[in-house]
Each structure stands twice: as C-alpha cells, then as structure tokens.
Amino acid sequence: MRYTSRTSPIEIPACNSGHNAGPYMMPMTKRPSWKWSTIVEAWRWRGPVVFFLLVLREICRPLVYWHVFYIFQIDLTRQPVPKPYANEKIDVKICPGAEDPDKAKAEIVAMGQLEPAEVDLRFERGDTAAVAYLDGKPTGYAWMSFTSGVVKLAFDVTWIAGLGESIRYDYFVLPEWRGRRIFSCLHSAIVVCARDRGIIRTFASVSMLNRQSLSLVKHQQRTAVMKVTLVNLRGLNRTFQKAAGAPFESRFLKQG
C-alpha cells in the first residue's frame, strides 16, 4: 500500500488477508435515511442485537436520543503506527497534497456522505483527509483535525485538540467495498500523517454500537482511555453527559 504525503511517498507494510473492520461512528453531515437497503446493510454489519438497539434509539428520537462512545488515544512517542492488514494493494493519498485538490474534493463528495460546502469548510480550517483507492477507484476516506471546538462528537459537544494533538474522525468506506479491510489502511495512513506533522497524541471515538470498529481496536490490543455517555432531551433541548476514565472537560467542550 502506498501512502502519499504532502512531500514524499512513504511505503506502509503490506496487509494480510481478512475483513474490513468498518467505519468509526462519527457524526456525519447527512443523517442516514432508513431505506430498505440501509436496513439490510445495518443488519448485515451490526448483527441482530445491535440492530435492535439502533432501531429502538430511532423510535425514541422525537423525545430522547443517546450515544455512548469509547475514546481511544495513540501516543506516538510510545506506540507504533498501526499496521494495515488488507490482502489487496490499497493506495491511500493524503489531501490536500501535491495532486489536484479539486479532484480529491469531487471524489469525496461523490461517495455521497458530505456536501461540497462541508468538504471546503474542512480543508479551509486545515483538516486533512486520507482517501483510499482500489484499482484506481476511490473507496473510502478518513479525516483528521488539529483545531479545538470544530469536530463534533455529538449534539453540542466538540473535541478539544491541544498542542501536538489531533482528532481522527469521520471514517467511511463505501458499502460495496466493505469486508476488505480498507479501513485498516486508512487508519494506518492517517496516523502516519499525524506522526509526520509532529503530532504527539491523536484521538478518536468509537460508538459502543459499532462492533466492527471495536473489533479493529481489539485486534490492535488498544484500551479506551475514556467512556463518554451523552443523552439529549429533545423537548428541553438539553444534553447531559457522563464521563469515565478522565474528566469530561479535559477532552471536550460543551456549547451553550
């Protein structure tokens, strides 16, 4: 797999065979539509128990909605870059980079999750995207931010990014390309990018209901540094939070 940085290409070790761990559960610009294809996809990747919990949460959405996130940290002064383990040649390019930024933007937008204005906003504030290609076709992306108060965890809660820190977010792999561990290649490349930018610690969240991403974390033998529960009462327009492992205020900002 080739990771293309802003300066020179870096080779990342080849991957072993297996299945894609699936995307992190990060807030998207568009709310997923519960079409039949979406339901089938959720059942396939989540399993019946998690699928039931997702449906229950959607039923309760008019009154109350909740998230439970595990927070994971990679300390690049002590921990190695996670290795990818796909069984195919996956090219991952970092954007913005030496290549045409408009081309990268068009490829990201074409995957159907982000509007052009949102992609522009992320690039304008200095965020970085990793885009994965298989046989020359864009198959997924991951984002990383270096700015506090811009990456939303959920509701009115945003991440804090301190000096030498970054936030990895919005991992996505197109449904037709899942099951090929493309996610592991995106994950490795974006962490390499963080290291090359002089980042010391990089953080990400994984939803308790995202068993595919949790399986990747288990494969890498990583332990969550925090657990964050958010409950939003729609009628009161209030969000309640509970954190374990570290103070909530040490890692997150609450608007309002």
pLDDT at 87: 83
254 burial type by CB count under 10 A (0-12 exposed, 13-18 middle, 19+ buried): middle
CB of 203 closer than 8 Å to CB of 251: yes
CB of 170 closer than 8 Å to CB of 28: yes
Per run of 10 residues, the mean pLDDT along the chain (length 256 residues) is 40 36 39 51 64 82 93 95 88 81 92 95 95 95 97 96 97 91 93 96 92 73 92 90 96 88
pLDDT at 34: 47
Q: Where are the alpha helices (DSSP H) in 10-88?
A: 36-46, 48-60
pLDDT at 235: 81
pLDDT at 256: 63
Give the residue numbers spanning the domain of 52.
2-254
pLDDT at 86: 82
Whether cis (ω within 30° of 0) applies to the bond prior to 247 is: no
CATH number at residue 76: 3.40.630.30
142 burial type by CB count under 10 A (0-12 exposed, 13-18 middle, 19+ buried): buried
Quick: pLDDT tens for 127-166.
Answer: 999 999 999 999 999 999 999 999 999 999 999 999 999 9
pLDDT at 178: 87
pLDDT at 237: 84
Which residue shows structure tokens 């568009």? 30
Domain count, the chain: 1
**34 CB-side CA count, 13 A:** 7
The SS3 call for residue 147 is coil
pLDDT at 40: 60
pTM of the model: 0.79
Distance CA(151)–CA(167), nearest Å, equals 8
Quick: pLDDT tens for 13-26.
Answer: 334 333 333 333 33
